[in-house]
Amino acid sequence: MPKIRVCNLYPELLNIYGDRGNTIAVVQRARWHGLEVEVTDVTLGDRVDFRQFDILLIGGGQDREQRLIAEDFARVKGSSLHEAVLDGLVVLAICGGYQLMGRYYQTADGAQLPGLSIFDAWTEAGPTRMVGNVVVETELFGEPRTLVGFENHSGRTFLGPTARPLGRVLKGHGNNGQDGREGVVYRNAIGTYLHGSLLPKNPHLTDWLLQRALDRRYGGEVQLGRLDDTIEERAHAAMVRRLLR
- CATH, residue 119: 3.40.50.880
Residue 174 to residue 236: CA distance in whole angstroms? 19
Hey, which residues does 7 pair with through a beta bridge? 40, 56
Residue 242 to residue 245: CA distance in whole angstroms? 5
Residue 16's pLDDT is what?
80
Residue 229 to residue 232: CA distance in whole angstroms? 5
Domain region containing 82: 3-244
DSSP 44: T
Pick the closest to residue 207 from 192, 194, 195, 222 (CA basis). 222
Q: pTM for this one?
A: 0.96
Active site residue 195: yes
Asked whether the bond before 80 is cis by omega within 30 degrees of 0, the reply is no
| Among 95, 153, 173, 236, the one annotated catalytic | 95
Q: What is the CA radius of gyration of the chain?
A: 17
Residue 140 to residue 138: CA distance in whole angstroms? 5
Could you give the angle at the alpha carbon of 138 between the alpha carbons of 142 and 20, nearest 5°?
110
Q: How far apart are the first and last CA of the chain?
A: 45
Identify residue 188 by its one-letter amino acid code: N
**CA distances in angstroms from 40 to 1, 4, 25, 228, listed in the order given:** 19, 11, 15, 28
Hey, which residues does 39 pair with through a beta bridge? 6
Say if CB 58 and CB 44 are below 8 A apart: no
Residue 119 to residue 117: CA distance in whole angstroms? 5
Q: How many CA atoms lie within 13 A of 108 on its CB side?
A: 10
Q: Is 48 left (phi over 0), alpha (psi -120 to 50) or beta?
A: beta
- Coil vs helix vs strand at 137: strand
Say if CB 54 and CB 27 are below 8 A apart: no
Residue 18's pLDDT is what?
82
Active site residue 7: no
Residue 137's pLDDT is what?
98
Domain count, the chain: 1
Residue 238 to residue 205: CA distance in whole angstroms? 17
Residue 39's pLDDT is what?
98
Residue 181 to residue 95: CA distance in whole angstroms? 14
90-100 confidence digits (pLDDT tens):
999 999 999 99
Residue 240's pLDDT is what?
97
96-129 confidence digits (pLDDT tens):
999 999 999 999 999 999 999 999 999 999 999 9
Q: What is the pLDDT along the chain (245 residues), one digit of tens a residue?
A: 899 999 999 999 988 878 889 999 999 999 999 999 999 999 999 999 999 999 999 999 888 899 999 999 999 999 999 999 999 999 999 999 999 999 999 999 999 999 999 999 999 999 999 999 999 999 999 999 999 999 999 999 999 999 999 999 999 999 999 999 999 999 999 999 999 889 999 999 999 999 999 999 999 999 999 999 999 999 999 999 999 99
